[in-house]
Amino acid sequence: MPLHTLIVDFNSYFASVEQQERPELRGRPVAIVPVMTERTSCIAASLDAKRHGVKTGTPVAEARQMCPGLVVIEARSELYVQYHHRLVAMIERCVPVTEVLSIDEVRCDLPGDFSRREKAQAIAQQIKRTITHEAGPCLTSSIGIAPNAFLAKVASDLVKPDGLVLFDDPDLPGCLYELSLRDLPGIGHNMEQRLLAAGFDSVEKLCAASRADLRRIWGGIEGERFYDGLHGAVVYRPATQTGSTIGHSHVLPPDMRNESSALATLHRLLQKAAMRLRHSASYAGGLHLSLRYVGRDRWSDALTFLETQDTRELIRVFNQLWDRRPTSARAQPIGVGVTLFHLSPAHNHTATLFETGDARTGLNAAIDRLNRKLGKNTVVYGGALGALHYAPIRIAFNRIPDVALEGGETDDELLATPADIQNARSSRTSRASLKSPRRQAGVF
Ligand SMILES: [Mg+2]
């Protein structure tokens, strides 16, 4: 099985950020609380506090008893979100980030060459080095590498702090046998009881269970998904109608609040989204464009089309949408966003008559490879020129708490909502409508 997934999990994240910012806290037991009162519970604990048994959920009064000298600090969410974005950007320079799992955990699917054992290990080391040099030595992480996300998660939980664990063919499934059932994602107290009742009292026995056994114990398809996860299969969750999207938004700095800079920024964001689409082995069947204007007015429109992962085809659809924007003199753009939707996994994709063919696929792959190898923006389509220094790429933040605190850089409201996706029309019908007199921009 090729190594498909790398998961980075930051150790004692909130406490580590505080120790990085405040050197006097390093090496001391630290607990983070949401508000400064003795009646609350810890939301995070530093390594030294954990050694005394303090963990997330421990009441403060109890924590002080367990751990004399405990330093209790009120959480600074804004700071943790800022660090999060910086850390994700640092990882992104080593390997494309596929999904942000939480504020202190990201998943990266390993493209092409990166899925070889030595290369995957080298990337993990590079991520750790980059973070130590650029964010600081307190921000340690545990990295897990495995044939799928389920096993990578298990691997990342195995050694803390500062772990690097790789599960590969020769080690699987034996390397899992010493774990307890509860160490596996998806097994909580209740599921453990059901497994014990069915005679599966060890991970070794669980690994020997059949798919049908697990379906029966879980009572449905989740059991089969667990089976696939445990056995290293790469499981693609079926895309729901409004579920998965890939989107980027950006608030324009004052000197770029004009149409040409907005256009260049959008091209850059679109090309980045297309690269992520290909890295996640998906196709998109919809594109949503959103603009915010001075005065807070938002305009957006969306089109659907035959599913593709080709940048040039996406640019073609994008240009159709761009032509529909309001262009009155007062329409000064202040924020831009693009979202790809109607995503479906490559293995569900059926080639069509309109497919662009091998040459275009090869071109996209070559551009992605150059950008991975030599740094992003090494090769871009011309439309993005003029925005390369201004469009830092961020991923969607819907799982990051307190995103409003992030300020300035991105704007979630510029990404497609389920309603936007539902209202999207086909690009093929719209091609005809472009010939008719230009409609007034209704939403504006
Ligand atoms: Mg963590």
Min mean pLDDT across 94-108, 140-154, 171-185 is at 94-108
> Does residue 425 sit within a domain?
yes
84 lies in some domain: no
Q: State the distance from the centre of ligand 1 to the C-alpha of 371, rounded, in angstroms.
A: 29
Range of the domain at 424: 246-433
The structural domain count of the chain equals: 3
Q: Is the pLDDT of residue 62 over 90?
A: yes
Distance 210 CA to ligand 1 centre (A): 32
**310, 352: one domain:** yes
Same-domain status, 412 and 315? yes
Instruction: Confirm whether 99 is domain-assigned.
Output: no
**Among the listed residues 81, 20, 90, 32, the one whose alpha carbon sits nearest the alpha carbon of residue 56:** 32
For residue 70, being part of any structural domain is answered with yes
Q: Taking 50 as the threshold, does the pLDDT of residue 27 lie above it?
A: yes
Indicate if the pLDDT at residue 262 is higher than 80: yes
Q: Is residue 366 part of a domain?
A: yes
- We report the CATH number of the domain holding residue 224 as 1.10.150
- Tokens representing 397 are 């933040």
Residues 279 and 356 in one domain: yes
What is the domain-level CATH number for residue 265? 3.30.1490.100
Residue 387 lies in a domain: yes
Q: Residues 350-378: what's their mean pLDDT?
A: 70
Q: Are residues 373 and 302 in the same domain?
A: yes
The pLDDT assigned to 3 comes to 94
**Spatial distance between the Cα atoms of 41 and 104, rounded to a whole number of angstroms:** 20
Task: Please check whether residue 181 lies inside any domain of the structure.
Answer: yes
The answer to whether residue 329 scores a pLDDT higher than 90 is no
Residues 119-135 have pLDDT tens digits of: 999 999 999 999 999 99
24, pLDDT greater than 80: yes
331 and 281 fall within a common domain: yes
Cα-Cα-Cα-Cα dihedral sign, residues 152, 154, 158, 160 = positive
> 333 with 225, same domain?
no
Same domain, 59 and 21: yes
Do 391 and 265 share a structural domain? yes
- Considering only 224-228, 249-253, 352-356, 386-390, which range has the smallest mean pLDDT? 352-356
Q: What's the chain's average pLDDT?
A: 83
Question: 152: which 2 tokens?
Answer: 């990578």
Give yes or no for residue 444 having a pLDDT over 60. Answer: no
Lowest mean pLDDT among 178-192, 242-256, 339-353: 339-353
The share of the chain scoring above pLDDT 70, in percent, equals 85
Percent with pLDDT over 90 in the chain:
48
| Dist. CA 10 → ligand 1 center (Å) | 4
Looking at 112-126, 170-184, 385-399, 419-433, which range is the least confident one?
385-399
| Over residues 418-431, mean pLDDT | 65
Compute the distance from residue 150 Cα to the ligand 1 centre, in Å. 16
pLDDT for 91 beyond 90 = yes
Last residue of a domain, one of 53, 76, 99: 76
- Give 281-306 pLDDT, tens digit per residue: 888 989 999 998 887 788 888 888 78
**How are strands ordered across the β-sheet holding 44-45?**
44-45, 30-33, 71-74
pLDDT, position 442: 30
Residue 160 domain-assigned?
Answer: no
Provide the CATH number for the domain around residue 35.
Answer: 3.40.1170.60
Same domain, 189 and 282: no
Which residues form the catalytic set? 105
Cα 19 to middle of ligand 1, angstroms: 15
pLDDT for res 183: 94
Neighbour order of strands in the sheet with 282-293: 246-251, 333-345, 282-293, 298-308, 425-426
> pLDDT, tens digit, for every residue of 194-253?
999 999 999 999 999 999 999 999 998 889 999 999 999 986 654 443 358 899 988 888
pLDDT at 437: 29
pLDDT at 277 over 70: yes
- The angle at the Cα of 350, spanning 346 to 351, to the nearest 5 degrees, equals 105
- Residue 336 and residue 310 in one domain: yes
Instruction: Give the mean model confidence (pLDDT) for residues 369-375.
Output: 77
Are 61 and 191 in the same domain? no
